[in-house]
Chain A
């Protein structure tokens, strides 16, 4: 799906946990996330801590969207 959005001309970042899959399938901007059942959360933490992490991850994703890339790039947090 990420590739179709890219194909339509819209820059897109893929936030996902199993980044090797994203690489194989061909996403260009990738941000690794926390876990499969909660990519942008962590139930082991408090709601505030979770939100803070979520914010950090999304900020990285936005950074990826503002960074020129030539090739597939993983933007670690």
Chain B
């Protein structure tokens, strides 16, 4: 008894034609077609493609609802153990069709799905919804893609637990799976450094997030008329940390009133931050949130006003996404309150 698979491919891989045949409507064929053979071979009889659905990439793009309906009807009738689409490599419409149809089969029919494409394929946008094997950017990568997809598909059909993305070859989808490395970290780190120093290729174990840039805003023309607000990631809070801001991985920020406060003291303020030695900040929180000097400047008329509220959170281990969320929210409050500029202090 072998598992039954339905395979979705486009007009090119079905050998119908290239761009000039991208308009063809879906067709249902028996058995495998084109690259399906590589998948069948890899499964060695444990699974087989019972039906292949061929659809023109332009047809799918231009008649998505109809194409989806037709494909879903056919798959439903066949009741396969698995639905596989592609691999699409770098073909954009094909990748989009593969990811979209796989997602539809998964959601509406509850059948396990798998597809494959190049990381930059627009269809890869769905990698958190649909399991996508990462492939090379051209069909020359078929000899590696097909066995990788076949192996992962078989695991899924057998109901086996799948490993980390790095182990199984699928695009990281936000789900963490732990595994043991074969070599200790120290050796891996030295090997990576040696490769880097010798200009040899190396693969990072932790890709850095890419940071966007925001254009600087116009400078303040007249400080003596400006309302300046203080914000900090140094975790300065009223003594006792009334809102329980966490010492690490903060889940929220605090908004505190400093109207009438001329100076932060050890009796009235402290730091909640667990990532630096708190002794100095606890003794005098002005060392992290300079309320005392800004209040003096306000009294001297050097600045128009020190805003009545300061916004604080703990930067220690707090995710970029969370920090972004906090600031986006309190920036709106600052705007509404007519604040002209902000001084953000960090430790």
A22–B334 alpha-carbon span in the complex (Å) = 22
Interface residues in A19-77 by Cβ distance below 8 A to B read: 22, 24-26, 28-29, 33, 36-41, 43, 50-51, 54-55, 57-58, 61-62, 65-71
Count of B residues near A, CB < 8 Å? 55
CB of B214 within 8 A of CB of A28, answer yes
CA–CA, A5 to B280, complex, Å? 28
The answer to whether B280 touches A38 (Cβ under 8 A) is: yes
**A-B interface pairs (CB < 8 A), number:** 162
Given the known interface contacts A9-B335, A13-B343, the answer about A40 and B219 at a Cβ–Cβ threshold of 8 Å is no
Q: How far is the CA of A54 from the CA of B48 in the complex (A)?
A: 73
B211 & A26 in contact (Cβ 8 Å cutoff) = yes
Query: Could you tell me if B331 and A37 are in contact, using CB atoms closer than 8 angstroms?
Result: no
Residue of A3, A29, A43 with highest tally of chain B CB at under 10 A: A3
A53 CB to nearest chain B CB (Å) = 10
User: Which residues of B, 167-192, contact A by the 8 Å Cβ criterion?
Assistant: none
Number of interface residues of A (CB under 8 A): 46
Determine if B345 and A6 form an interchain contact, defined as CB atoms under 8 angstroms apart: no
| Interface window among B36-44, B150-158, B197-205, B287-295 | B287-295
Say yes or no: is B161 at the interface (Cβ < 8 Å to chain A): no
What sequence of 0s and 1s flags, for each residue 283-306 of chain B, a beta carbon within 8 Å of any chain A beta carbon? 110111010111011000011000
Residues of B within 8 A of A16 (CB): 345-347
How far, in angstroms, from A3 to B281 measured CA to CA in the complex? 25
A25 partner residues in chain B, CB cutoff 8 A: 211
Of the candidate stretches B58-66, B136-144, B226-234, the one touching chain A is B226-234
C-alpha spacing A15/B331, complex, angstroms: 18
- CB-CB under 8 A from B341, the residues of chain A are 10-13, 65
Do A8 and B216 touch (CB < 8 A)? no
Docked pose: A43 CA to B346 CA in angstroms: 18
CB <8 Å contact, A38 and B214: no
Q: What is B's interface to A at a CB cutoff of 8 Å? A: 211-221, 223, 226, 228, 231, 233-234, 276-281, 283-284, 286-288, 290, 292-294, 296-297, 302-303, 313, 323-324, 326-328, 331-332, 334-335, 339-347
Could you tell me which A residues sit within 8 Å of B by CB distance?
A: 1-17, 22, 24-26, 28-29, 33, 36-41, 43, 50-51, 54-55, 57-58, 61-62, 65-71
Listed by A's residue number, 16 A-B pairs whose Cβ atoms lie within 8 Å are A4-B324, A5-B342, A10-B339, A11-B218, A11-B340, A24-B211, A26-B212, A29-B216, A37-B281, A39-B345, A43-B283, A58-B294, A65-B223, A65-B226, A68-B219, A69-B219
